[in-house]
C-alpha cells in the first residue's frame, strides 16, 4: 500500500448560477478539487469522496506544504479505496473555507466580501454543485459516492437527488437526520461564535479581526462529541498536567483541558467562523424523510437501483449505530441491496477517520465488489 504522493489542488469555475434550496442563487462560483488515479476509458470507475465539517477536497496524498489528506489511510494505491483501480475525486463544498467559493470571497453582486451574507447551503445544494463538477470532468455516472458523518449525508443525498448518476453509496458514521441533542450542540457552538464581539455580525473581515474566542469554544464542544467517553478516559482520564493541583479556576489542571484548549487554538487559526455556521446549519437541515411526511423508507424508494454500504461504530454517541440502523431499515423496507457493518471500536465518532482493520476490511471488501461488477 502506498501514498498517492504529491498532489496539487485544482480549481473549476462555474458561471451558470446554482439555485439553492433556500431560494437563493449562488452565482459565479468556483470549486477546489483533487483527483487521484485515472479515469478509465469507459469513464465508469469514478468515486466521489464527500467531506465533513472541517475537511476539504484534500482527501489523500500530500501537498507541497507537507499536509496529508484527511482520508489518506483509506485512499491510495492498494488501499481499501484503491486508486490503482478507481478514479477518486475530492471536492471542497461551496461555503467552506478551503478554496471553493465561500464567505471570505467577494460577492460579485456587491463587490464586497460575502461574510454573513453568503447564502445558506444545504446538503442537497452541495450535491448539486458536485454533480456539475462531475459533468465537467466527463463523469456521467459515479461508481460510488463515499463519505463519513456529514460526508455520509451527502453520499445518501446523491442517491435521492441524482439516482441515475451514481451506482453505490458508502455512508459511514452518519444519520438520516440530526437529533435534538445534535442540533443543540451545533446551536451552542454557533452562539459562542455569533456572540463573540469580534464576529461583528459576520462581517469581521472588514475589521481585521477573527472571532477566535467563539471558534475555540465551538471546536472544544465539537471535540467532546467526536470522542467517546471511554476513549477520553483511556487517553486522559483524570491525569494532571502538573505534579500537584494548583487550585485555580482559570489555569489548566487536567490534561484533558490542555488537549481541548490546544484543539480550540489550532482550529481558530485556520477555520472560518461563517463557514462553521453554514456547515452546522447544513447538518441541522438534512432530513430526507421530511418531504415524505417523516417516512424514511418512502424517501429512499427512488434509490432501488443502488447498492449501499452503511457503517457505524459502537461507541459513536454523536451518530450512534441506532441511527445507522434506521437507514438500514428504510433500505431493507425498499428491498434495496444494503450491507451493514457495526464496528466495535473504542474511538467514538472519530473512528471513521482512523485506520481500524475491521472497518477498513469492510470498506475494502465493498470496493472490491464494486470493482468486480464490471466497471472496466
Nearer to its own copies (CB atom), residue 141 or residue 263? 263
DSSP H helical ranges for 162-228: 180-194, 212-226
Interaction between residue 304 and its own copies (CB under 8 A): no
Among 40, 73, 141, 179, binds its own copies (CB under 8 A): 179
Please answer whether residues 210 and 197 qualify as being in contact, where contact means their C-beta atoms are separated by less than 8 angstroms. no
Binding mask 242-281 for its own copies (x = CB under 8 A): ---x-xxxx--xx-xx--xx--x---------x--xx-xx
Query: Residue 207 catalytic?
Result: no
Min. distance of Cβ 213 from its own copies in angstroms? 4
Task: Indicate whether 305 belongs to the interface with its own copies (CB under 8 A).
Answer: no
Determine if 315 is a binding residue for its own copies (CB under 8 A): no
Instruction: Work out whether 185 is an interface residue with its own copies (CB under 8 A).
Output: yes
* Nearer CB in complex with its own copies: 134/278: 278
- Count of residues that bind its own copies according to CB under 8 A: 60
- Among candidate residues 44, 347, 349, 350, the one labeled active-site is 349
Closer residue to its own copies (CB): 86 or 285: 285
Sign of the CA dihedral running 258, 261, 264, 270: negative
Dihedral angle over CA of 317, 365, 371, 54, nearest 10: 30
Using the rule CB under 8 A, give the single segment among 17-25, 76-84, 131-139, 358-366 that binds its own copies: 17-25
Beta bridge partners of 263: none
The C-alpha atoms of residue 188 and residue 292 are separated, in whole angstroms, by 29
Q: Which of 316, 324, 350, 356 is catalytic?
A: 316
Report 18-47 residues binding its own copies (CB under 8 A).
Answer: 21-24
Strands 46-50 and 29-36: unpaired
Could you tell me if residue 200 is left (phi over 0), alpha (psi between -120 and 50 degrees) or otherwise beta?
left
Q: For residue 211, what is the enclosing H or E element?
A: none
Task: Label residue 32 exposed, middle or buried (CB < 10 Å: 0-12, 13-18, 19+).
Answer: buried
Judged by CB under 8 A, the residue of 62, 104, 133, 183 near its own copies is: 183
Give the active site residue among 44, 96, 100, 149: 149
**In the chain, helix, strand, coil percent, each to 5?**
40, 20, 40
Q: Please report how many Cα atoms fall inside a 13 Å half-sphere around the Cα of residue 100, on the Cβ side.
A: 25
* 120 is a contact residue toward its own copies (CB under 8 A): yes
H/E element, 27: none
Among residues 107, 133, 163, 287, the one that binds its own copies under rule CB under 8 A? 287
Parallel/antiparallel/unpaired status of strands 81-82 and 112-113: unpaired
349 is catalytic: yes
- The rounded distance, in Å, linking the Cα atoms of 48 and 103 is 24
Q: Is 133 in the site for its own copies (CB under 8 A)?
A: no
235 binds its own copies (CB under 8 A): yes
In the complex with its own copies, the residue whose CB is nearer, 80 or 119, is 119
Residues that bind its own copies (CB under 8 A): 21-24, 116, 119-120, 177-181, 183-185, 187-188, 190-192, 194-197, 202, 213, 216-217, 220-221, 223-224, 227, 229, 232-233, 235-238, 245, 247-250, 253-254, 256-257, 260-261, 264, 274, 277-278, 280-281, 284-285, 287
Amino acid at each position: 500500500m502506498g501514498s498517492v504522493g504529491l498532489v496539487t489542488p485544482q480549481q473549476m469555475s462555474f458561471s451558470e448560477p446554482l439555485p439553492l434550496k433556500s431560494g437563493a442563487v449562488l452565482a459565479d462560483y468556483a470549486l477546489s478539487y483533487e483527483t487521484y488515479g485515472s479515469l478509465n476509458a469507459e469513464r465508469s470507475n469514478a468515486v466521489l469522496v464527500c467531506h465533513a465539517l472541517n475537511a476539504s477536497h484534500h482527501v489523500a496524498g500530500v501537498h507541497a506544504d507537507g499536509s496529508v489528506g484527511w482520508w489518506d489511510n483509506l485512499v491510495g494505491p492498494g488501499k481499501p479505496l484503491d486508486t490503482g483501480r478507481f478514479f477518486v475525486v475530492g471536492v471542497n463544498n461551496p461555503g467552506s473555507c478551503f478554496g471553493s467559493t465561500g464567505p471570505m470571497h467577494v460577492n460579485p453582486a456587491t463587490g464586497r466580501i460575502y461574510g454573513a451574507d453568503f447564502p445558506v447551503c444545504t446538503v442537497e445544494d452541495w450535491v448539486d454543485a458536485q454533480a456539475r463538477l462531475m459533468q465537467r470532468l466527463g463523469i456521467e455516472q459515479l461508481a460510488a459516492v463515499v463519505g463519513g458523518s456529514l460526508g455520509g449525508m451527502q453520499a445518501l443525498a446523491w442517491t435521492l437527488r441524482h439516482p441515475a448518476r451514481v451506482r453505490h453509496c458508502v455512508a459511514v458514521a452518519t444519520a438520516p437526520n440530526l437529533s435534538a441533542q445534535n442540533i443543540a450542540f451545533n446551536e451552542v457552538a454557533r452562539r459562542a461564535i455569533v456572540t463573540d464581539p469580534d464576529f461583528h455580525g459576520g462581517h469581521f473581515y472588514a475589521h481585521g479581526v477573527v472571532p477566535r474566542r467563539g471558534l475555540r469554544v465551538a471546536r472544544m464542544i465539537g471535540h467532546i462529541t467526536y470522542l467517546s467517553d471511554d476513549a477520553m478516559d483511556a487517553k486522559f482520564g483524570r491525569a494532571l498536567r502538573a505534579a500537584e493541583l494548583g487550585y485555580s479556576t482559570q489555569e489548566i489542571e487536567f490534561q484533558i483541558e490542555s488537549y481541548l484548549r490546544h484543539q480550540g487554538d489550532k482550529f481558530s487559526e485556520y477555520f472560518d467562523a461563517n463557514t462553521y455556521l453554514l456547515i452546522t446549519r447544513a447538518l441541522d437541515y438534512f432530513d430526507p424523510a421530511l418531504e415524505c411526511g417523516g417516512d424514511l423508507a418512502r424517501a429512499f424508494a427512488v434509490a432501488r437501483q443502488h447498492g449501499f454500504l452503511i457503517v457505524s461504530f459502537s461507541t459513536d454517541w454523536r451518530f450512534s449505530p441506532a441511527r445507522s440502523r434506521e437507514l438500514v431499515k428504510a433500505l431493507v423496507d425498499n428491498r434495496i441491496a444494503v450491507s451493514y457493518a457495526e464496528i466495535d471500536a473504542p474511538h467514538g465518532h472519530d473512528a471513521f477517520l482512523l485506520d481500524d482493520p475491521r472497518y477498513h476490511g469492510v470498506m475494502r471488501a465493498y470496493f472490491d465488489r464494486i470493482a468486480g461488477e464490471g466497471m472496466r
